[in-house]
Amino acid sequence: MTRTLPRIYRAAWWAVIVLLTVQISIDSTLRYIIGSQPAPEPVLANAFATPFLVLHVIGAMTAFLVGPLQFMSVIRARWPAFHRATGRVYVLGCVLGAPTGLILASGTSAGPMAGIPFAISALLWSAFTWLGLRAVLEGRVEAHREWMLRGYAVLAGAITLRLMLPAALMSGYEFYPAYRLISWLNWTTNLTLVEYWIRRQRTSATGEATFVTV
């Protein structure tokens, strides 16, 4: 029972992430690629929206959709070739999504107080992905997993932003002040939580290894 509950919690957590990922991907596709739904004016007001917004959405959403598959242990264990293939797709998404995100960060209509954190998140996403790729090529599987978790945490700031911003607006905050603050909070919150989880897993693994040795 003590081992079953954590598995249930993890499964429920990943189910929520997958559902939000699919919903945001569909919404972004309809808004920015197909154009069948209106896009937010502050986003369209970006100085570099044409042509980089569509390119960023394609790259980021590609990585966004395959990302959760990378962390499912069942897929890694049973279908390693599929894991490697989707991993390549994720990296390609980052190669397109991160540089275009950096360009868009410099043109945001919310000014440098929003542009700077978005630029940092784009740089961190690409850096973490590179470190994860290098780690797996060197055979450091655990380091690979940790770096990719950090990278996806930054990318999943898209989820956190879409949860935080409506909550802030419903609480009476004006759009641009809330947007500037949340442009920092969306990815720093995710990265802090993931880093805590990584370090907790390390401690747990060390404790188990010590117990077995003794």
pLDDT digits (tens, 9 = 90+) for 176-205: 999 999 999 999 999 999 999 999 988 876
**Span 137-155, pLDDT tens digits:** 999 999 999 999 999 999 9
Q: Which residue has the higher pLDDT, 3 or 143?
A: 143
Model-level pTM? 0.87
Task: For 89-149, give the DSSP string.
Answer: HHHHHHHHHHHHHHHHHHT-TT-HHHHHHHHHHHHHHHHHHHHHHHHHHTT-HHHHHHHHH
Q: How far apart are CA 65 and CA 23, in angstroms?
A: 10
Which whole-number Å values give the CA distances from 113 to 44, 63, 104, in the listed order?
18, 26, 14
- The answer to whether the peptide bond before residue 38 is cis (omega within 30 degrees of 0) is no
Q: Residue 7 — very low, low, confident or very high, per pLDDT cuts 50/70/90?
A: low
pLDDT beyond 60 at 51: yes
Structure-token match 């997958």, residue found: 18
| Residues found in the chain | 214
What are the tokens at 63? Answer: 């990585």
**Do the beta carbons of residue 135 and residue 143 sit within 8 Å?**
yes
Distance in angstroms (rounded) separating the CA atoms of residues 113 and 183: 8
How far is residue 104's CA from residue 50's CA, in Å, rounded to a whole number?
10
* Mean of pLDDT values over 18-43: 85
Averaged confidence pLDDT in the chain:
89
Distance CA 37, CA 9 (A): 35
9 band by pLDDT with thresholds 50, 70 and 90: low
Task: Provide DSSP, 44-99.
Answer: HT-TTHHHHHHHHHHHHHHHHHHHHHHT-HHHHHH-HHHHHHHHHHHHHHHHHHHH
Confidence of residue 16 (pLDDT cuts 50, 70, 90): confident
pLDDT at 39: 84
- Confidence class of residue 117 from pLDDT cuts 50, 70 and 90? very high
Q: State the Rg of the chain over Cα.
A: 18
> Per-residue pLDDT for 5 more than 70?
no
